[in-house]
Amino acid sequence: MTSIVVISAGLSVPSSTRILADALGAATVEHLSPSAEHLSPSVEHLSPSVELVETTATYDVVELRDLAHLITDNTLTGFPTGALADAVRRVVEADAIIAVSPVYTGSYSGLFKMFVDVLEDGTVEGKPVLIAATAGTARHSLVLEFAMRPLFAYLRADVVPTAVFAASEDFGTGSTVIGGSLSARIDRATRELADKVLRRGTTLPDDPFADPTPFEDLLRDI
């Protein structure tokens, strides 16, 4: 079973960030389903994957708003608790990540960065990642390229070339718009993500507790 984790950093309820997050998650799952070749490239499913009984992939959303207090606690104490510990574990074990943040003051939101900050080193190293953002206007669209992409480059994630930006107006724009519709961008980006997942296969991180580095090696490698 392929597991896609969607990190959604929207702060309002409901949020356009969450709408985009669900759309990206569902589209990725669809591309990963066994009959994906026969499906229409357009994205119809906006509901979670539990309804897609035939798929071998699922996505679930980590809604950072619900974890805001726990994330603050983690930055102070150094360890995640409760629902945050569960969310971190899901990210660690995910086969791919979809990261979606609203644009705040010219960048990803502070809450989004705080969540990324509490992830252990190496958590997303080599993992396929799709980056996406929402904002009130399209003038912020390069946030994905000058803020989000460098962040994941630093984390050594394997980020797909297409980043998905949705301004408010995109939610009311059809396929005839110059530059292509939001759903076309979602389709292209999620295909790229699904392709990376299929090439990489499912992976689980090393567990240094189950499989420690022998002391002889630690001593030799000083």
Partner 1 sequence: MQFGIFTVGDVTPDPTTGRTPTEHERIKATVEIAKKAEEVGLDVVAVGEHHNPPFIASAPTTTLAYIGAQTSRVILSTSTTLITTTDPVLIAENYAKLQHLTDGRVDLMMGRGNTGPVYPWFGKDIREGINLAIENYALLHRLWREDVVDWEGRFRTPLQGFTSTPRPLDGVPPFVWHGSIRSPEIAEQAAYYGDGFFANHIFWPVSHTRRMVDLYRRRFEHYGHGTADQAIVGLGGQAYMAKNSQDAVREFRPYFDNAPVYGHGPSLEDFMRETPLTVGSPQQVIERTLGFREYAGDYQRQLFLMDHAGLPLKTVLEQLDLLGEEVVPVLRREFAATKPAHVPDAPTHESLLAAREPSSVEPEAPSVEPEAPSVELEAPSVELVETTEARS
220 lies in the site for partner 1, by CB under 8 A: yes
Residues 162-201: x where in contact with partner 1 by CB under 8 A, - otherwise, as a string: ----------------------------------------
> Rounded to an integer, what distance in angstroms lies between the CA atom of residue 18 and that of residue 175?
22
Q: CB nearer to partner 1: give 37 or 221.
A: 221
For residue 172, what are the contacts with CB-CB under 8 A and spacing of at least 6? none
Measured CA angle at 64 (ends 124, 91), to 5 deg: 25
76 lies in the site for partner 1, by CB under 8 A: yes
53 lies in the site for partner 1, by CB under 8 A: no
Of 56, 81, 168, 175, the residue at the interface with partner 1 (CB under 8 A) is: 81
> Rounded to an integer, what distance in angstroms lies between the CA atom of residue 54 and that of residue 38?
14
- Piece of 25-33, 72-80, 91-99, 167-175 that binds partner 1 (CB under 8 A): 72-80
Cα→Cα distances 83→62, 66, 136, 180, 194, Å = 10, 9, 30, 38, 27
> Rounded to an integer, what distance in angstroms lies between the CA atom of residue 184 and that of residue 51?
23
Q: CB nearer to partner 1: give 161 or 215.
A: 215
Of 161, 172, 179, 208, the residue at the interface with partner 1 (CB under 8 A) is: 208
121 lies in the site for partner 1, by CB under 8 A: no
For residue 57, what are the contacts with CB-CB under 8 A and spacing of at least 6? 1, 2, 3, 4, 28, 29, 32, 33, 49, 197
Q: Closest approach of Cβ 182 to partner 1, in Å?
A: 39
Q: Kindly list the residues in this chain that would bind partner 1 in the complex (CB under 8 A).
A: 72-73, 75-79, 81, 85, 208-209, 212-216, 218-222
